[in-house]
A = this chain, B = another copy of it.
Amino acid sequence: MAQSGNSRKYWVGVDLGGTKILTGIFDERFNCLGREKVRTKPLKGWQEVTERIVTCVMEALEENGLTLEHVNGIGVGSPGSVRAETGAIRFSGNLGWNEVPLQSELTRRFEVPVFVENDCNVASLGIYEVELGAKPENMLGIFLGTGIGGGLILNRRLYTGRNHTAGEFGHMVIDMGGPKCSCGNRGCFEAFASRQAIFRKIQSAIKKGHKTVLTDLLGSDLTKLRSRDLRKAIKKGDELVQSVIEEAAGHTGIAIANLLNAFNPEIVVLGGGLIEALEGTMLPVIERRARDGTFPGAFEGVSILASKLSDDAGISGAAILASQKMASSRANEEAKL
């Protein structure tokens, strides 16, 4: 692996999503110098996706007058379950992947150290370091989008558990007899409060004859429904959408109460497309239900807030992950000497 001393002072953060790949270039203080975006096209297979990641990173570097020679390390946030030892993607429903050697393949291509971690873990780290200035001791990140994921900062460090699968809050069962979830279980938090769950609920209400402005906006099949359409509908006084979103917020509050009872962190940060579009409607309901559901004392001094970082959470978290991983492997090597 080529090394050229002090010129390597930049970090690259990659956020690999089901529809798009985002890349950011960061300086030593994790200021973002530039961003790049390409489509993921997961149906073309993992080799093609890897290729697209490489293209996205190279373009971002080039636009900032940099090459891989200037890069210290690259962090990647990926959907799904990531193997701790190898950075391979064990499984991702979102990408349709099983056992994809993403970290080793990217390391081979870039000839720079690459670190792959679950996307919600990475985004939680980004929010913690950039938005909260690494001040709280413990934080939960919860991301409401197509699916629901989460991440944990405990004792000021990203906590990933035995198999790097900690933070899978979306598959917490909150209603045993509830609707079927994509994971095979029933009544998971994700089966109530993800965009997909909300979409299904609205569709089934339409079939039952309920009226909504969404059909005027998008046609009766709603296939192009996005979180911002839900906000538009609520602004237009759409009662169906309002009640479906409030219900999803109530379920989110129950899930957060469960997590507060278990972890009792001082802060819960919400992110993801649904929260970005619907914070005003959802956050008050979430907070009330979470407060009602926590054990006496557990809510004291606890705050629940919506992240303002949006897409920057993932890319900055990935860059910070790379720097932390390299610092800890350096510390381990020094301890051996």
Contacts and interface: CB of A to CB of B under 8 A. Distances in A.
B185 A293 contact: yes
Interface of A: 81, 83, 90-91, 137-138, 150, 152, 154-155, 157, 159-169, 171-178, 183, 185, 187, 251, 254, 257-259, 261-266, 292-298, 300-302
A182 to B, nearest CB: 11
Nearest to A183: B295
B173 A298 contact: no
Contacts of A162: 137-138, 264-266, 298, 300-302
For chain A, what secondary structure do more than half of its interface residues adopt (helix, strand, loop), or is it mixed? loop
Given A90-B297, A155-B154, A161-B138, A261 B172 contact: yes
Contacts of A174: 173-176
A81 B175 contact: no
Nearest to A185: B293
Nearest to A262: B169
Contacts of A298: 81, 161-163, 165, 168
7 contacts: A90-B296, A91-B297, A137-B162, A138-B161, A150-B262, A152-B262, A162-B265
Nearest to A93: B296
A35 B7 CA distance: 66
A166 B257 contact: no
Contacts of A171: 258, 261, 293-295
Contacts of A159: 154-155
A152 B261 CA distance: 12
A172 B172 CA distance: 10
A172 B81 contact: no
